[in-house]
A = this chain, B = another copy of it.
Amino acid sequence: MIWGGIEAGGTKFVCAVAAEDGKILERTQFPTDSPVPTVAKAIEFFRNYSDLAGIGIASFGPVELSAGRITSTPKPGWRNFGIADAVADKLGVKVAFDTDVNAAALGEWKWGAARGLDTFLYLTIGTGIGGGAMAGSRLIHGLHHPEMGHIRVPHDGSFAGVCPYHGDCLEGLACGKAMEERCGRPAEELPVDDPVWQEEARLLAHGVVNWICTLSPQLIIMGGGVMKRTTLFPAVRTRVSALLNAYVPIPEIVPPALGDDAGVLGAIGLCL
C-alpha cells in the first residue's frame, strides 16, 4: 500500500508517493500552470501506481476546506477551482485536503522537527507568506483556516506592499515578490549585505513576535524560498528577542527538518 501527496503551490506542484513511514518512493515537480493542465500532469504521475490507497492535497489558499477548493486567490484561473474533486474523479481514490502550510506542519510533526510537540508553528516565507499551526496536537482550522501571512505589523510606510487584498499586510511587505518589487530583482540575487535583508528580518521578527504572543508555540519552523538565505535565522532571532524584552520565553526558530519535502510529505500525512 502506498500513499500519494500533492503539494499544490502557487509557483510549483510537487507530487510524491511514499510508504506509511514517510519514505518517499518517487517524486516529481513542475511549474504551476492553469488548473486543467496542471492537474492533468499530477494525474499522469499517479496513474503509474495501481496500489495507491489515497492522496493528500496540500493546497495554496485561501481554500474552502469542506469543499476541497481554492477560493479568493489572486492567481489567474484558480479562483473557485475544486482541486480535490478534480483529482478524486480522475483517480478514484479517497482524497484528503488541507492548506499547504497545515500539511507542512503535519509533516514536520510526524517525521520532522516538531516530533513530540503539541503546540508549534510552521511558517513559509516564499512567493507568499503562510503559517500552519498545531495546538494540543491538532492542526488549527477554526471558522476557515489560518491565513497568517496577512497579519498587519508596524512599518515605516515607505513601501506600499504587493498584496492585492491588503497592500501592506506582512505578506505584502515581506514575501519574495515584495522583496523583488522593492529591489528590482529576485531576492536570491540580492547580496547578503543588502539593507533589504535587515528590513526583511525586522518585518519577519514582528510577525514572529505576534505569533509567539498569540499561540505560545514550543517551536517555530521557518521554511520557504526566502529562508534559504540562512543569515535570516540569527537576524530574526536577535530582533524577536529585543522586541519581546524577556517578557515571555522564546521558542527555538529552525528550518524545516524535512527541507523542501515538508509540504509534499505533509500532504501524504493528511491521508494516512
Binding site for B on A (CB under 8 A): 62, 72, 118-120, 131, 133, 135-136, 138, 140-155, 165-166, 168, 206, 209-211, 213-218, 243-249, 251
Contact A247 B215 (CB under 8 A): no
Residues of B within 8 A of A118 (CB): 142
How far is it, in angstroms, between the C-alpha of A142 and the C-alpha of B218 when the chains are bound?
6
How far is it, in angstroms, between the C-alpha of A138 and the C-alpha of B155 when the chains are bound?
34
Contact among B135, B152, B206 with A140 in the assembled complex (CB-CB below 8 Å): B135
Contact among B138, B152, B154, B216 with A145 in the assembled complex (CB-CB below 8 Å): B216
Q: With both chains docked as a complex, state the minimum distance between the C-beta of A166 and any C-beta of chain B, in angstroms.
A: 6
Residues of B within 8 A of A214 (CB): 131, 133, 146, 148, 151, 210-211, 214-215
Contact among B136, B141, B154, B249 with A216 in the assembled complex (CB-CB below 8 Å): B141
**Residue of A142, A152, A216 with most partner-chain B CB within 10 A:** A142
Contact B140 A119 (CB under 8 A): yes
Q: With both chains docked as a complex, state the minimum distance between the C-beta of A64 and any C-beta of chain B, in angstroms.
A: 10
Evaluate whether A248 and B144 lie within 8 angstroms (CB atoms) in the complex, with A152-B154, A154-B154, A243-B166 already known. Answer: yes
User: Closest 9 interchain pairs by CB?
Assistant: A142-B216, A119-B142, A136-B138, A135-B135, A151-B210, A165-B247, A143-B218, A135-B140, A150-B213
Contact B248 A62 (CB under 8 A): yes
Q: What residue in chain B is nearest A138 (Cβ atoms)?
A: B136
